[in-house]
Structure formats: structure tokens, C-alpha cells
Amino acid sequence: MVDAQTQEVVAVEMTANFVGDSEVLPDLLEQLDEHDQVASVAADGAYDTIQCHGDS
């Protein structure tokens, strides 16, 4: 996950081939500092799930 303004990497998750992209979004969001706010998420269609829309 990259901060859109600073281009700083703020979260990363390494997974095996069989782990779907949308499964790791909650883990990425948990890595953010408490004061960080997510205004929007830009991702490919693999993240377009009901779970991801609820998590973000």
C-alpha cells in the first residue's frame, strides 16, 4: 500500500501464490497507524469484493 501524496510504502504483505489479493486487504489496513485515514483505495478488479468494500 502506497501513500498517494508522498509515494511512501505504508503497508506490505507477502503471500503465497494461492492467496487471493482481496484476502489481504484487511491485513494491509491493520498495518496503518491509528491516525492514518484512508480516503480511497485504487486497486485492480481482484479487490472489487463485498468484503473489501466493507473493510475500507
pLDDT in tens, 4-54: 889 999 999 998 999 888 888 889 889 998 888 888 777 777 777 777 877
Please tell me the distance from the alpha carbon of residue 41 to that of residue 5, in angstroms, as a whole number. 13
pLDDT at site 11: 92
Number of independent structural domains in the chain: 1
What rounded mean pLDDT belongs to the chain?
84
CB atoms within 10 A of CB 25: 24
The answer to whether 28 and 41 are in contact (CB under 8 A) is no
Residue whose entry in the numeric block shows the C-alpha cell 489479493: 21
Residues of the domain holding 40:
1-56
Confidence category of residue 55, pLDDT binned at 50, 70, 90:
low
Query: Whole-prediction pTM value?
Result: 0.71
